[in-house]
């Protein structure tokens, strides 16, 4: 798997949820803090998004605009700044409340002032990958002619399934929501990588051929006994220059990141599978179950068995 796919897989929990909402002016909704991440797509009309942080400027949304609330922070959507806000709460199981039945117009006979496609993802932030942790509070992807064509295609497919469910829609919607998340993150990353100025952080790491080659190798085979020299050689660099470049962009030395990813992989396997500990240890690069358990407890504070039981 590539690094972005791995970062998503390491955090994703449960099933995502979504719905289409018709809104009649004046309208407003306040979303509280959430442990996962959410998104809003303005399909028709106009709207304003107000981030939850103090002093944040409202963001005007036009048809086709996508906003991704990366860290589940509180925020508000409204027809115009100052509109009255109704509190929005998820259902007890974390799903979105079922919206009212859709119609061509509202009580006044007027069409809706806005049509929104909204959704939420369950994410495990205990081992959040730094690629996702450094996302801004709000990722705004404005609609532009010719931009993010694949992302727009997924939005259209998702909207069609939610608007007119048919046999198999539950599976299709769940898969499309996972695809939408990947496309949103890819669009942000490509924007950071190819935007004005020099990319920083993980955008810089994935844009650096030597660092990216090392990251791909670590993610493809975390069990391999990698050395700093081995990883540097993949990108044609000697040990010292590679180590400096890797730490400057990734934020950790190469072997520290390798250990972190091995433990993150182990945690996911313990959470999702009944694989024997000995096999997980081997898949994560440890010659013995004892050495693996010791390293795991140092990272998580509990033994692998205790972690699996709690999960």
| CATH (domain of 41) | 2.60.120.280
Which token pair is 176?
Answer: 């499309």
- Together in a domain, 298 and 276: yes
φ/ψ of 270, rounded to 5, equals -65, -35
Query: Quick check: is 61 in a domain?
Result: yes
Q: Which helix (H) or strand (E) holds 16?
A: strand 12-23
So what's the pLDDT on residue 198? 63
- Together in a domain, 131 and 248: no
- Together in a domain, 236 and 177: no
Query: Quick check: is 277 in a domain?
Result: yes
So what's the pLDDT on residue 281? 95
- Neighbouring C-beta atoms of residue 15, cutoff 10 Å: 15
In the sheet with 114-123, reading across from the earlier edge strand, the strands are: 12-23, 114-123, 37-45, 66-69, 138-141
- Together in a domain, 251 and 304: yes
| Preceding omega of 26 cis (within 30 degrees of 0) | yes
Distance separating alpha carbons of residues 55 and 83, to the nearest angstrom:
17
Query: Quick check: is 203 in a domain?
Result: no
Distance separating alpha carbons of residues 213 and 208, to the nearest angstrom:
8
Query: Quick check: is 53 in a domain?
Result: yes
Q: Which of 194, 223, 239 is the last residue of a domain?
A: 194
**Tens digits of pLDDT across the chain (311 residues):** 588 888 888 888 778 888 899 999 999 999 999 888 999 999 999 999 999 877 788 999 999 999 999 998 999 999 998 899 999 887 777 667 777 766 655 555 688 999 999 999 988 777 788 888 888 999 999 988 677 889 999 999 999 998 888 999 999 999 999 999 999 998 888 776 555 556 677 888 888 999 999 999 999 999 999 999 999 999 999 999 999 999 999 999 999 999 999 999 999 899 888 889 999 999 999 999 999 999 999 999 999 999 998 87
Query: Quick check: is 201 in a domain?
Result: no
So what's the pLDDT on residue 195? 59
Paired sense of beta strands 86-88 and 28-31, if any: parallel
Contact between 267 and 303 (Cβ < 8 Å): no
Q: How many domains, the chain?
A: 2
- Together in a domain, 256 and 149: no
So what's the pLDDT on residue 48? 96
So what's the pLDDT on residue 104? 58
Q: Which of 194, 226, 257 is the last residue of a domain?
A: 194
Q: Which of 303, 219, 215, 218 is nearest to 267 (CA)?
A: 303
Distance separating alpha carbons of residues 154 and 158, to the nearest angstrom:
6
CATH of the domain at 247: 1.10.10.60
- Together in a domain, 36 and 173: yes
What domain range includes position 277?
A: 208-310
Nearest 5 degrees, angle CA 210-CA 212-CA 217?
Answer: 100
Which token pair is 110?
Answer: 């007027």
Query: Quick check: is 300 in a domain?
Result: yes
Q: What is the DSSP string of 65-133?
A: -EEEETT---EEEESSTT---EEE---TTSPPPPPPPP-SS-TTSPPPSEEEEEEEEEE--TT--HHHH
- Together in a domain, 180 and 217: no
- Together in a domain, 159 and 299: no
- Together in a domain, 174 and 49: yes
- Together in a domain, 178 and 215: no
| Preceding omega of 235 cis (within 30 degrees of 0) | no
Query: Quick check: is 21 in a domain?
Result: yes
Query: Quick check: is 222 in a domain?
Result: yes
What is the three-class DSSP state of 237?
A: coil
Q: Which of 172, 194, 216 is the last residue of a domain?
A: 194
- Together in a domain, 158 and 285: no
Distance separating alpha carbons of residues 62 and 114, to the nearest angstrom:
10
- Together in a domain, 222 and 173: no
So what's the pLDDT on residue 286? 95
């Amino acid at each position: 798997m590539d690094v972005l796919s791995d970062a998503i897989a390491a955090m994703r929990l449960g099933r995502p949820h979504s719905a289409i909402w018709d809104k009649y002016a004046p309208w407003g909704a306040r979303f509280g803090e959430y442990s996962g991440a959410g998104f809003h797509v303005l399909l028709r009309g106009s709207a304003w998004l107000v981030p939850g942080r103090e002093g944040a400027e409202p963001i005007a949304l036009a048809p086709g605009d996508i906003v991704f609330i990366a860290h589940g922070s509180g925020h508000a959507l409204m027809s115009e700044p100052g509109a009255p806000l109704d509190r929005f709460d998820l259902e007890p199981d974390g799903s979105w409340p079922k919206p009212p039945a859709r119609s061509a117009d509202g009580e006044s006979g007027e069409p809706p002032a806005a049509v929104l496609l909204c959704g939420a993802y369950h994410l495990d932030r205990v081992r959040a990958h730094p690629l996702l942790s450094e996302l801004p509070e709000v990722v705004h992807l404005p609609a532009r002619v010719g931009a993010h064509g694949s992302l727009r295609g997924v939005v259209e497919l998702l909207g069609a399934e939610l608007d007119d469910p048919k046999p198999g829609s539950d599976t299709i919607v769940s898969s499309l929501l996972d695809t939408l998340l990947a496309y949103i993150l890819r669009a942000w990353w490509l924007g950071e990588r190819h935007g004005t100025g020099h990319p920083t952080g993980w955008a810089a790491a994935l844009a650096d051929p030597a660092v990216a080659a090392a990251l791909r190798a670590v993610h493809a085979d975390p069990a391999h006994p990698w050395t700093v020299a081995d990883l540097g050689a993949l990108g044609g660099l000697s040990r010292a220059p590679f180590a400096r470049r890797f730490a400057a962009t990734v934020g950790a030395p190469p072997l520290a990141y390798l250990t972190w990813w091995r433990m993150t992989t182990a945690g996911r396997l313990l959470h999702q599978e009944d694989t024997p500990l000995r096999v997980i240890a081997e898949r994560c690069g440890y010659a013995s179950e004892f050495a693996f358990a010791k390293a795991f407890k140092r990272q998580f504070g509990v033994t692998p068995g205790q972690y699996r039981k709690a999960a």
